[in-house]
Amino acid sequence: MKTRYTFGGDEHIYVEMDEEMSLDAFFKSLSMSNAVREADIPGVTEICPANASFQVKFDPDVTHPDEMLRRVQELEHKAESAEKRMTTRIIEIPVYYQDPWTHDCVMRFRERHQDPEGTDLSYAARINGYDSVEAFIEAHHSQPWFVSMVGFVAGLPFLYQLVDRDKQLEVPKYLSPRTDTPKHTVGYGGCFSCIYSVRGAGGYQMFGITPMPIYDPEQKTSYLKDFMVFFRPGDIVKWKPIDRAEYDRIEAAVADGSYAPRIAEVDFDLEAFNADMEGTNAKLMEALNAA
């Protein structure tokens, strides 16, 4: 991987680990952003990690941009030698696939889509070589996903599928963005799945919806009282298909404060995963099932 350093005006340095997303690039980016944080360089005000990159915001009156760039570049060797393992969480996220709310939105914006005569799910299934929508949905939820970034919209997670590169699902975004997307929509664009944390514009394909809030600026949701954003980079997600009755039950439990996401603490080792992806995923899901 060839790291690229660029300035973003006078107050930002952008560090790109690779032009394409990979877990190797993510781990290097995470390790290096942590190294910058630990270095406590004078003038640094914020460090924002992304999928395979990160950005440093700083005060140029405290540290000159050229000096900041030099200090950041000096830390790259720490990222290259860092162990690619972490203790993290695997979380079960309930998803009501083919729900009526995202389906209504899907049909309202067909003129912006590659396949105006179909649905987002039928299009995604076809271009990924699946015989049915049901088979595509199974491929979407059957293996875990890695949260590589949180942001763009407050609390929105980007999720990268933990499978061989040739088995990854890929779906392009809409030809032009929608002006509406239901809150908690489970979407897909490129190689990333996501959950829309708020209602608003969007361009990802829509597959379903979760009744589980992931962002609460008022911090009234029982499991978001300590912090308004649920996800953090490094989390692992396992989608759980649910029906309308289960959706309604969870929504009611969220409202009365009794709902708690199913979570287990796990160790994730990238080298072990690359050596045995199916075995690693099976152990992750065993830990979740035992929670």
Q: Which structural domains are found in the chain, ordered by start?
A: 4-82 (3.30.1360.40), 87-290 (2.40.100.10)
Secondary element (H or E) of residue 240 = strand 236-241
Rg of the chain over Cα atoms, rounded to whole angstroms, equals: 20
Please give the average per-residue pLDDT across 176-181, as a whole number. 97
User: Which residue carries 């009526």 as its tokens?
Assistant: 100
Please give the average per-residue pLDDT across 257-264, as a whole number. 97
Output the pLDDT for position 95: 98
Token pair recorded at residue 287 = 């830990």
pLDDT value at 174 more than 80:
yes
Least confident of 54-58, 79-83, 184-188: 79-83
Least confident of 24-28, 113-117, 246-250, 264-268: 24-28
Of 196, 193, 202, 201, nearest to 235 by C-alpha is 193
Please give the average per-residue pLDDT across 219-244, as a whole number. 96
pLDDT value at 1 more than 70:
no
* Calculated CA dihedral for residues 178, 170, 157, 57, nearest 10 degrees: -90
CB contact at 8 A, 102 and 209? yes
pLDDT value at 184 more than 70:
yes
Distance, in Å, from the CA atom of 286 to the CA atom of 98, rounded to the nearest integer, reads 27
**pLDDT tier at 84, thresholds 50, 70, 90:** confident
pTM of the model: 0.91
Output the pLDDT for position 80: 75
pLDDT above 70: percentage of residues in the chain: 100
Q: Tell me the pLDDT tens digit for each residue of 70-81.
A: 999 999 987 777
Looking at the DSSP bridge assignments, the partners of residue 93 are 239
Please give the average per-residue pLDDT across 132-140, as a whole number. 97
Residues contacting residue 39 through CB under 8 Å, at least 6 positions apart:
71, 75
**pLDDT tier at 154, thresholds 50, 70, 90:** very high
Count helices and strands in the chain by DSSP H and E runs: 9, 12
Burial of 103 (0-12, 13-18, 19+ CB in 10 A): middle
**pLDDT tier at 101, thresholds 50, 70, 90:** very high
**pLDDT tier at 22, thresholds 50, 70, 90:** confident
Q: How many Å separate Cα 142 from the centre of its chain? A: 17
Of 88, 87, 86, 44, nearest to 63 by C-alpha is 44
